[in-house]
Amino acid sequence: MDARIWTYIFVGISFAIYIGIAIWSRAGSTGDFYVASGGVPKIANGMATAADWMSAASFISMAGLISVMGRDGAVYLMGWTGGYVLLALLLAPYLRRFGKFTVPDFIGDRYNSGTARIVAIFCAIFVSFTYVAGQMRGTGVVFSRFLEVPVETGVIIGMVIVLFYAVLGGMKGITYTQVAQYCVMIFAYLVPAIFISIMLTGNPIPQLGLASDAQGESIGLVQKLDELSTELGFAEYSSGQKPMIDVFAITLALMVGTAGLPHVIVRFYTVKKVSDARKSAFWALLFIAILYTTAPAISVFARTNLLNTVSDQPYQEMPAWFKKWENSGLIAWLDKNNDGKIQYDGSGDAFEKHASTAKVEPVFVTNDPPNEKGFFGERILYNEPTDFSNELYVDPDIMVLANPEIAQLPGWVIGLVAAGGLAAALSTAAGLLLVISTSVAHDLVKRTLNPSISDKTELLVARLSAGVAVVVAGYLGIHPPGFVAQVVAFAFGLAASSFFPAIVLGIFTKRTNRFGAIAGMLSGITFTATYIWYFNFGVGDFKGTPDQYLFGISPQGIGSVGMLINFAVAISVSRFTPHPPKHIEMLVDSIRLPRAAFGKADTGPSH
């Protein structure tokens, strides 16, 4: 059977399992819908947390970015890994002990303010929609290639699936679905990595293969990749191009952004008690580490095979996978020296000569290319120009998905990777959509607008808001603001600049009050969102260039500065405004001190 049939089989079976789990575990109350009634086993919750946290950005885009960017791409690996450790050790136990299962709930009660709750609701929805845009794009990328349908159709299929099990099952359905999705995801990630590690290095363990010599050669695999990269016109793979301050800023933004993500924090309320939350955090970290330690190896394997396949080869002799990905608009070639081969020797006016011969303007890159062909039959792409310093353009989001095809692995492996990519995108999308529906139904309607609403009506509002959120998420997936990991980095920066300071100050200080928290969140997220918009989405004179970056920090890392602004504003405003009420100070003590000191048992979350 060919890869397409295998893809239908694996995707069909996995989707049937997800839907079956959703029907089996459908939510019957708001407790089921929001936190699965706090009854999820520790290991299962660890798997679900790992699947929820390891989104399409982790499965599809992270290794792709490391593959394309080299050492600079490692900021995503360091930031996301460190962020989960920070969340598990610094915040999760205290938030779980507080007993409120949403971040707006915590902020509203800790700062004794309905206004603070509304600001937190806005931030949660804004961050979640930014994040979910990347997941829906990942879904569209997978479907567009492996099922050979338009990206828009792929996004719509993903919307229907997510809508079904998120709206029907709520957190209970999503949790057990994510356990299955983690199993699919990790199996799909490791199988091709093991195969390719054996092919390239003779070592079946990808992590060790990365540090081994290339098969049959006395040169390290990474060193060989450096040589291949420079031959094609790329910088050395192991060299870094980003300023060190930007590396630190992006890593920090991703770390503290992870610790402020609402859809990850709520996971610690789905177990029975605080001690179980700590144990499930350990299991989640272990499950996450399996994928994250494999990602650098996959990035090197994929890039080595890609350059071995295309370097100095005639375009017309490219294998079928190259042409299929080219049709999706996610890989492209521009023959700068007009010789029909995929290489780059920097020859004079070859670019202008080619453009004249092809009678079109070869400007890159778009996800919706027209059908014009260049002089050698290559697809001509249109959109805003990119830095095209070599003849080959590769979208980072395809490296993991195309990896088995490039390595000429069996069709069933290709189908398995497709199912894994969809599991990664859909698992996180479902968690984010639940955050949005919970923010609307519980935090806005139940806790703010209509406290007397019945449990049944609240559940209906939650499901309706989830349905609306799916439609908006689908639109953002069809019209994404960037690469999957790039969009996700924006979401982490927004979470870092809004939630992280408010949560940390709420737990570890008594002096921070409602005025400081509100001013800090608004100033942090406004600065970060404006900076991201100005440098990525602005137009004309209102769009910045990299040479205008503040301190050399890119939009992906500006959340670090937004976080510092939030801290500074919150602390300063609190110092010049009244102290919080006495009962709020006692509330902070009850979060930080042992439960026994207050005569309370270690119980589940309050609703």
The CATH number linked to 255 is 1.20.1730.10
pLDDT in tens, 112-163: 888 998 898 888 888 877 777 777 777 777 777 666 677 778 788 877 777 7
379 inside domain: no
Which pLDDT value is given to residue 348?
33
Query: Rounded to 5 degrees, what are φ and ψ at 308?
Result: -65, -35
Among the ranges given (279-293, 377-391, 400-414, 459-473), the one the predictor scored with the smallest mean pLDDT = 377-391
495 inside domain: yes
What is the β-pairing status of strands 392-394 and 331-333?
A: antiparallel
- Contact (CB, 8 A) for 500 and 259: yes
61 inside domain: yes
383: confidence class by pLDDT, cuts 50, 70, 90: very low
Alpha helices (runs of H) in 293-396, residue ranges in sequence order: 295-310, 320-327, 350-358
pTM of the model: 0.76
- Average of pLDDT values for 549-559? 90
545 inside domain: no
- State how far the Cα of 477 lies from the Cα of 426, in Å rounded to an integer: 12
486: confidence class by pLDDT, cuts 50, 70, 90: low
Please determine, for residue 380, whether its predicted confidence score (pLDDT) is greater than 60.
no
- Average of pLDDT values for 243-247? 89
Residue by residue, DSSP assigns 411-445 as HHHHHHHHHHHHHHHHHHHHHHHHHHHHIIIIIII
Which pLDDT value is given to residue 173?
60
What residues have CB less than 8 Å from 138, skipping those under 6 apart?
Answer: 55, 56, 57, 59, 60, 61, 397, 421, 424, 425, 484
195 inside domain: yes
233: confidence class by pLDDT, cuts 50, 70, 90: low
469 inside domain: yes
Domains identified in the chain, total number: 1
Please determine, for residue 49, whether its predicted confidence score (pLDDT) is greater than 70.
yes
Which pLDDT value is given to residue 442?
75
Distances (CA, A) of 318 to 167, 184, 341: 45, 31, 10
Domain that holds residue 268: 3-302+410-509
CA 547 to chain CA mean position, Å: 27
Q: Which has the higher per-residue pLDDT, 198 or 213?
A: 198
- Contact (CB, 8 A) for 395 and 65: no
Q: Is the peptide bond before 151 cis (omega within 30 degrees of 0)?
A: no
- Contact (CB, 8 A) for 277 and 271: yes
49 inside domain: yes
363 inside domain: no
Which pLDDT value is given to residue 525?
93
Please determine, for residue 346, whether its predicted confidence score (pLDDT) is greater than 50.
no
pLDDT in tens, 12-47: 888 788 777 767 656 555 544 554 455 567 788 788
The residue behind tokens 């609240």 is: 458
